[in-house]
Structure 1
Amino acid sequence: MTHFPSIDAASVEQFLQAQRFRHPATHKNYANLLCNFNSFLMNRGAITSPDVSIVQQWLKEHSLKWQAHILYHRTLLIERYVQWLHDQGLIASNPFAELHREYGPRTTPIVRALVSDDIYAALQKQRRLPRFRSFLGLLMDEHVTHMRVLGYRYRTEEQRLLRFDRFLQYHPELAGLTLAELVEHWSQEEPSPYHLFEARRTGRIVSKAMHRIDPRVPVLPIGDGVARAARQQQRAPYLYTDDEIQRILQTALLYPSPKAPWRPVTLFTMLVLAYCAGLRGGEIARLVLGDVDLREQTIEIRETKFFKKRRLPLAPGVMAALKHYLVMREQAGSPTKPESPLFWSPQRNCGYTVGGIRLVLTDVLRRANIKPARGSVGPRIHDLRHTMVGHRMRDWYKSGINPQSKLPYLATYLGHKDIRSTLVYLNITPELLQEASERFRKNGATALQVREGAL
């Protein structure tokens, strides 16, 4: 029988010392959590041999006391602690490693499955399957490789094909059906207009790959009205008012962050760039210090959605906000190398991710009472980009400028591949309609007066 050293408060302290937290309060709070976890294991006789069932019991018990986001965050700490115990030889096995081998690298979906009502079904949805191993997998894999050789990134299409491949792996009994029948079976798994559109669009991609090999294979149509029904199901863009923009910015500056006093300025600057420069969340996350040119008052946007690199001039007010943020950033001890992420979290000692930006800025919207406290409803951060376009059109009308002549410049500024992509952002609002009607009235009145004079 193998004997393991005892796990006690000293083990917890040793683990926390290796984490190098910046704030003493964090160390204390985490110490209490980990000591309680040790007590939980000890009470169940699993202090040196925790398994998946023990982890599941701990999650179930604490899911009744904590909100979901708190449970996910603290589980990540428990996972790191368990990994450390295993590396130190203090426990026989790491149950989190077993879960990741079975259900993928992400912890949060696994936790969500373990605390769900139907654990088995939820875990099956997370089960890892080999890439492109269905009876159509080789064809789809070769098609992705072919498209990338042609110069396409093909990331979104690859994810669609992988979802289709996953469905086919779960249903090998469908191997004898035609592609059209396979697509219809997949679309029925989740009866919604959007999933039907995704299934038909994926089927069209696969049929094109087959058609390229054998021209006799027909290319599947998506179908009349399918795309329109999917678009109608999606949330319409929300255009913020000027008062709401001011409220959002003020809420960001007042964001409660006693342990990180620089964070409100960070959030404020992110929102300013999202609204005033129309940046996407991914573009904000990918900015580095070297992209900011204070002398030229520009920022460089790289690795964009349409392979377009662009340099954007910024308004004086935006540059003032950016300069103030850079001063706070340096005072916080963030790295100053040109390749360092522009938006840096000294607390976590790394840059912000796209998901992290979306999460914290969405919290700003909730605190500003613009977005409901719960649920994926209401205005989104990406709607600031739509609002930027709408407000720019409105201001051009008010200034007497013909917006149609400016649309190519706006498309370039936004990083769109052509003007058609920009037109998607044009939403008719009562205010914009009023300005357009007023402009038409003035021009029409002039033309009418000339005509009456000629008569």
Structure 2
Amino acid sequence: MNTTHFTSTFATDLDEYLAFKKKMGFYGASRTVYLRRFDAYATAHNLSTFDRATVEGWVTDQLQRSGKYRSWMSYIRDFGRWLHAHAHPDAYILSDQWKAPIIRPRPYLLTHEEIEGFFTTAAHVDAQSPWAWQSVAFFTLMHSAGIRTGEARNLLTSQVDLGDGHIDIVNAKGHRSRRLPLTDDVIAILASCDTTSHTHLGPRRTFFVSSTGAPVAPASVGVMFNRIWDQARLPRPADGKQPRPYDFRHHFAYANLERWMAGGTDVTAMLPYLARYMGHATFDSTYYYIHTSPDFMDSYADITQESQSLLPEVGFA
């Protein structure tokens, strides 16, 4: 049964593909939106074969609307793979040559003095909302556990176990989950925040909330970060990269790398564990953080110049 109103020759395959993705835990609406666009294109042009001309013709048409954004190409590429693996071995799989190059932004490298000044001010930030008492806990969690901003915003109270000393990041980026241990200092900060939130707002679903008890909005995180930064009278570069909340995650990564290096720990053996802790799907994402610390890179070059591989086999599953 066509549940998504597809009208082209590919309607049945599209419905079966989306059903398959849902069984795999992928429920994103954007996939359906772009496949509907492909379906409409195929209907308008009376296309019945999933070949190169059909796929690249739609991609070319879509690029005229989407400009530089190409993330949607993964949907038509994945649909092609599904067709190829199931009933249509001749189905065309969109070439990776269509992918736009990934240009990662340079992070703002937080100094120890800036971090100390930030948290000193965060403890007394001028805010007429729960941020007045949860700022320290929110940004401490990002700084000490290296979690993403969205992971902190969406953290449920049921995923915070202060008695056992851990948090569970569930169904995060790429639908991956992980359990992160907490230090005693972080547990104490989160416990204080939790007690104050319960006193003012009562039971709540998410650990961090707005004044209405709703989850923290994405924009409010940046607003509060900038307010604390400016109230602490921390410097801002006249040009170039500006500090942002996500830089706490960057700092977590390269601070651990530098700590291992300074302590004589085998950094190459520790990178897989760092990747798992930070929720990276591949080591490529973890390698990126090595490049955020010039001082670390200078030292790291000395111990890797004789190595043929960045990561040895360490039995990490």
Task: Could you tell me which runs of 5 or more consecutive residues in structure 1 were left unpaired when the two chains were aligned.
Answer: 1-129, 444-455
2:165–2:181 Cα contact (<8 Å) kept: yes
Q: Distance in 1 between matches of 2:179 and 2:244?
A: 26
Q: CA deviation at 1:393?
A: 0.5
2:21–2:27 Cα contact (<8 Å) kept: no
Q: 1:364 aligns with which of 221, 224, 230?
A: 224
Partner residue in 2 for 1:163? 34
Q: Distance in 1 between matches of 2:15 and 2:197?
A: 44
2:34–2:72 Cα contact (<8 Å) kept: no
Partner residue in 2 for 1:178? 54
Write the letter of the residue equivalent to 1:352: P
Partner residue in 2 for 1:343? 208
Q: Distance in 2 between matches of 1:199 and 1:289?
A: 34
Secondary structure at 2:168's aligned position in 1?
strand
Secondary structure at 1:231's aligned position in 2?
coil
Aligned Cα root-mean-square deviation (Å): 3.4
2:22 matches 1:154:
no
Question: Which segment drifts farther, 285-294 or 182-191?
Answer: 285-294
2:113 matches 1:243:
yes
Partner residue in 1 for 2:255? 391
Partner residue in 2 for 1:291? 159
Q: Distance in 1 between matches of 2:172 and 2:295?
A: 31
2:291 matches 1:427:
yes
Q: CA deviation at 1:325?
A: 1.4
2:107–2:292 Cα contact (<8 Å) kept: no
1:254-288: CA deviations, max 9, x gaps?
A: 4322x44x422212211111111112233323433
Distance 1:210 1:327, change over 3 A: closer
Q: Distance in 2 between matches of 1:440 and 1:423?
A: 14
Secondary structure at 2:167's aligned position in 1?
strand
Q: TM-score, normalised by structure 1?
A: 0.55
1:271-325: CA deviations, max 9, x gaps?
A: 1111111122333234333433334332233333355543322223322321221
Write the letter of the residue equivalent to 2:294: P
2:119–2:136 Cα contact (<8 Å) kept: yes
Partner residue in 2 for 1:26? none
Partner residue in 1 for 2:183? 315
Partner residue in 2 for 1:29? none
Q: 1:208 aligns with which of 81, 90, 95?
A: 81
1:350-376: CA deviations, max 9, x gaps?
A: 2414xx1x322201333325899xxxx
Q: More helix per residue: 1 or 2?
A: 1
Q: CA deviation at 1:406?
A: 1.5
Q: CA deviation at 1:386?
A: 2.4
1:300–1:311 Cα contact (<8 Å) kept: yes
Q: What percent of counterpart residues are identical?
A: 23
Write the letter of the residue equivalent to 2:96: I
1:139–1:209 Cα contact (<8 Å) kept: no
Bigger relative contact order, structure 1 or 2 (CA pairs below 8 A, ≥6 apart):
2
1:56-101: CA deviations, max 9, x gaps?
A: xxxxxxxxxxxxxxxxxxxxxxxxxxxxxxxxxxxxxxxxxxxxxx
Distance 1:433 1:420, change over 3 A: closer
1:42-63: CA deviations, max 9, x gaps?
A: xxxxxxxxxxxxxxxxxxxxxx
1:113-134: CA deviations, max 9, x gaps?
A: xxxxxxxxxxxxxxxxx94535
2:284 matches 1:414:
no
1:248–1:364 Cα contact (<8 Å) kept: no
Q: Distance in 1 between matches of 2:65 and 2:176?
A: 37
Q: CA deviation at 1:335?
A: 1.6
Q: Distance in 1 between matches of 2:277 and 2:12?
A: 41
Task: Could you tell me which runs of 5 or more consecutive residues in structure 2 were left unpaired when the two chains were aligned.
Answer: 48-52, 307-317
Q: CA deviation at 1:143?
A: 0.8
Distance 1:209 1:306, change over 3 A: closer
Count of matched residue pairs: 289
Write the letter of the residue equivalent to 1:154: F
Q: Distance in 2 between matches of 1:175 and 1:378?
A: 50
1:137–1:165 Cα contact (<8 Å) kept: no
Partner residue in 2 for 1:331? 199
Q: Distance in 1 between matches of 2:174 and 2:60?
A: 31
Q: Distance in 1 between matches of 2:275 and 2:255?
A: 15
Q: Distance in 2 between matches of 1:248 and 1:170?
A: 52
Q: 1:276 aligns with which of 114, 135, 144?
A: 144
Q: Distance in 1 between matches of 2:235 and 2:102?
A: 22
Q: Distance in 1 between matches of 2:291 and 2:5?
A: 40
1:287–1:342 Cα contact (<8 Å) kept: yes
Distance 1:288 1:418, change over 3 A: same
Distance 1:270 1:220, change over 3 A: same
Rg bigger for which structure? 1
Q: CA deviation at 1:418?
A: 5.4
Q: TM-score, normalised by structure 2?
A: 0.75
2:123 matches 1:253:
yes
Question: Which segment drifts farther, 275-284 or 265-274?
Answer: 275-284
Write the letter of the residue equivalent to 2:18: V
